[in-house]
Amino acid sequence: MGEIVGISGLMGSGRTELLMSLFGFLKGDIEGTIWLEGKEIKISNPKDAINYGLGIVSEDRKKYGLIHIDNVVKNTTLASLEKVSNYGLINGDQEIHETNQYVRNLGIKTPTVESIIDTLSGGNQQKVLLARCLMTKPKVLFLDEPTRGIDVGAKYEIYTLMNQLAARGAAIIMVSSEMPEIIGMSDRILVMHEGKIAGKFSKDEVTQEKIMIKAAGGSKNEA
C-alpha cells in the first residue's frame, strides 16, 4: 500500500519548484540528497528521473504538458517512446494499441485516439497527461495541482485513480492549493513556507487552521 503525501502552502512558497528540481528539470543552486527505496540516487535531468521510476504531471498543462498540435497518441507516448520502438524505430500501430488501453482504463473521452489534443476538454487533457506519466510505470508520482481547471466529474475520477494507484503500491506526492483536497486525500501533509518545509502533519491530527498557520509562517508553539 503506497502513501499519498500532500504538500500544502501559499502561492510562491516553492512547492512547484521543489517537485521540478527533484525531477531534474530545474537547474541552479540546489542542495540535498534524494533517496529512493533505501538508495541514494542522482538525478541530473528528467530522463534520469523517469529511468529511476519517477513520474510527473505539471500544474501548467499548457506550458509543461501538452504538445498542442499533436494527437492523443503522440501526447500519450511522449515519455515512453522507447517502449513502443525497436532500435529507434517507432511501431506506429503498437503505439496506438498501447494508447487505446490507457484511453479505456482512464476513461478518456475523445472521438478517436488520433484527435488533436487541443480539441479535448481540460479534464480529458489532464487524463492524457496522467496516461503519459503512467505509461512509464512510475513508482513515485509527482502530481502538481492535479485537478486545477477541470470539472467535478473528472476531479472525482482523478481522486479514484490516485487511490487505486496508491493501493497498488505507488507513492504519490501531490501539491495542491485546495484545502479539502489536501486534507481529504493525503496520508501525510507537508506545509511549505518561503522555500522550506515549515510543518508536518499526519492525517489524524491535521486541520485547515493548523495548515494555514504554518503556511503563513507562524511560530512552532502556536501550532
Partner 1 sequence: MKLNLRNNISAYVMLFSLFLIGIIFSILTEGTFYSARNISMLARQTTIVGILAIGMLFVIVAGQIDLSVGSIVGLCGTIAAALQVWNNWGTIPTIIVTIFFGMLCGIWNGYWVSYRKVPSFIVTLAGLLIFKGVNLGISKGKSIAPLKRNFSALGQSYTPATIGWILSAFAVFAVILLFINRRNSKIKYNFEVKPLYIDILKIVLISGVILLAVGVLNNYQGIPIPVLIMLFIAIIFAFIAKNTVFGRSVYSIGGNEEASALAGINTKRITLLVFIISSGLAAISGILLSARLDAATPAAGTSMELDAIAACVIGGASFTGGIGRIPGVIIGALVMASLDNGMSLINLENYWQLIVKGIILILAVWVDTMSKNESTV
Closest to partner 1 by CB, 140 vs 191, is 140
Q: Are 188 and 202 in contact (CB under 8 A)?
A: yes
Long-range contacts of 93-101 (CB under 8 A, 24+ apart): 98/135, 99/72, 99/73, 99/131
Which of helix, strand or coil describes residue 180? Answer: helix
Which residues of this chain interact with partner 1, rule CB under 8 A? 23, 25, 45-47, 49-50, 56, 58, 63-70, 74, 78-79, 81-82, 85, 88-90, 92-94, 96-97, 116, 119, 132
Q: Amino acid letter at 162? A: M
Element (H, E) at 47: helix 46-51
∠ CA(134), CA(58), CA(66), 5° rounding?
A: 80
Q: Amino acid letter at 52? A: Y
| Distance between CA atoms of residues 44 and 21, nearest Å | 9
Closest to partner 1 by CB, 97 vs 196, is 97
Min dist CB 67 to partner 1, Å, is: 4
Min dist CB 146 to partner 1, Å, is: 15
Closest to partner 1 by CB, 45 vs 207, is 45
Min dist CB 217 to partner 1, Å, is: 30
Closest to partner 1 by CB, 23 vs 201, is 23
Min dist CB 42 to partner 1, Å, is: 16
Q: Amino acid letter at 42? A: K
Min dist CB 183 to partner 1, Å, is: 28
Min dist CB 23 to partner 1, Å, is: 7
Closest to partner 1 by CB, 32 vs 88, is 88
Closest to partner 1 by CB, 8 vs 58, is 58
Query: What pairs with residue 55 in β-bridges?
Result: 141
Q: What nine digits make up the cell of 143?
A: 502530481
Query: What pairs with residue 189 in β-bridges?
Result: 6, 201
